């Protein structure tokens, strides 16, 4: 009896945060591609993606998935940390090759 209770209490996956994150990045990248037709710039693509990931990831993680109350200080701190990490990783593994 105990084992069947454990099986019925599975955590349901939540995909809303993932969908918002992926759609947000898709929209931003489509805008960057459209702008890149006029301004041929690697910097636009690099900084556009770093900023969009840096702003979208903390929002989806904190306020959609975890449903925390919005706090500017926490959001900006997490956004800056995310932008720094994404910028370093993108430069090391994408822009250098």
pLDDT digits (tens, 9 = 90+) for 33-80: 999 888 888 888 889 999 999 999 898 888 888 888 888 999 999 999
pLDDT score of 13 more than 70 = no
Best CA proximity match to 74, nearest among 59, 56, 53, 52: 59
The model carries a pTM of: 0.74
**pLDDT score at 88:** 93
| Overall average pLDDT of the 9-18 stretch | 75
**pLDDT score at 10:** 67
Residues in the chain: 97
| 88-97: pLDDT as tens digits | 998 899 877 6
Measure the CA–CA gap between 86 and 17, rounded to whole angstroms: 19
């Amino acid at each position: 009896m105990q084992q069947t209770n454990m099986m019925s209490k599975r955590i349901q996956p939540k995909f809303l945060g993932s969908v918002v994150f992926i759609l947000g990045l898709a929209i931003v990248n489509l805008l960057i591609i459209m702008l890149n037709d006029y301004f041929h710039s690697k910097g636009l693509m690099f900084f556009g993606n770093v900023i969009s990931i840096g702003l979208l990831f903390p929002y989806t993680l904190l306020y959609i998935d975890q449903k925390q109350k919005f706090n500017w200080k926490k959001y900006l701190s997490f956004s800056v940390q995310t932008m720094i990490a994404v910028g370093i990783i993108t430069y090391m593994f994408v822009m250098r090759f």
